[in-house]
A and B are shown apart, each in its own frame.
Chain A
Amino acid sequence: MIPVVGRSRRAELEMTEHGLKSLLSLLSDDPERAGELYLHIQQKLIRYFGWNLCPNPEELADEVLDRVARRVSEGESIQSPVSYVLGVARRVLLEAKPKALFLPLEGDVEVVPQPTDEETLTRLDQCLEELAPESRAVLLEYYSAEAAERIRVRQGMADRMGLSMNALRNRCLRLRRNLEECMESRRTQDSRKADDES
Chain B
Amino acid sequence: MNPDQLRSYLLGRLPPGDREEIETRAFEDDTFDSQLQEAEADLLDDWARGQLVPADADRVQERFPPAKLDVALHLNRRHLNGKIGKPSPSSQKSRVLWWLATAAAALLILAPAIYFWPHSRPVATPQSSQARPAPARVEIAIVALRTPSTRGTAIPLFAVARSATVVRLTVPAIQGYSQYEFRLESAVRGQIARQRMTLNGDVLSVEFDASLIADGDYDSSIFATTGDVSDLLATYSFRVEKK
Contact = CB atoms under 8 A, between A and B. Distances in A.
Interface of A: 40, 44, 47-48, 50-51, 53, 55, 82-83, 85-86, 90, 97, 100-107, 109-111, 113-114, 117, 120-121, 123-124, 137, 140-141, 143-144, 146-147, 150, 166, 169-170, 173, 176, 179-181, 183-184, 187
Contacts of B9: 51
Interface residues on chain B, size class? 35 or more
Given A109-B158, A143-B75, A170 B172 contact: no
Contacts of B85: 137, 140
A67 B76 CA distance: 41
10 contacts: A51-B9, A100-B143, A106-B155, A109-B140, A109-B141, A120-B74, A124-B75, A124-B78, A137-B85, A143-B76
Query: Which 9 A-B pairs rank lowest in CB-CB distance, beginning with the nearest?
Result: A105-B156, A184-B67, A124-B74, A86-B27, A106-B157, A180-B67, A183-B67, A111-B161, A140-B84
Contacts of B51: 147
Interface string B180-197: 000000000000000000
Contact of B154 (A85, A90, A106): A106
Contacts of A184: 65-67
Interface centre among A51, A106, A141 (most CB of B within 10 A): A51
B34 A169 contact: yes
B57 interface: no
B158 A179 contact: no
B166 interface: no
Given A97-B172, A124-B78, A103 B28 contact: no
Contacts of A55: 143
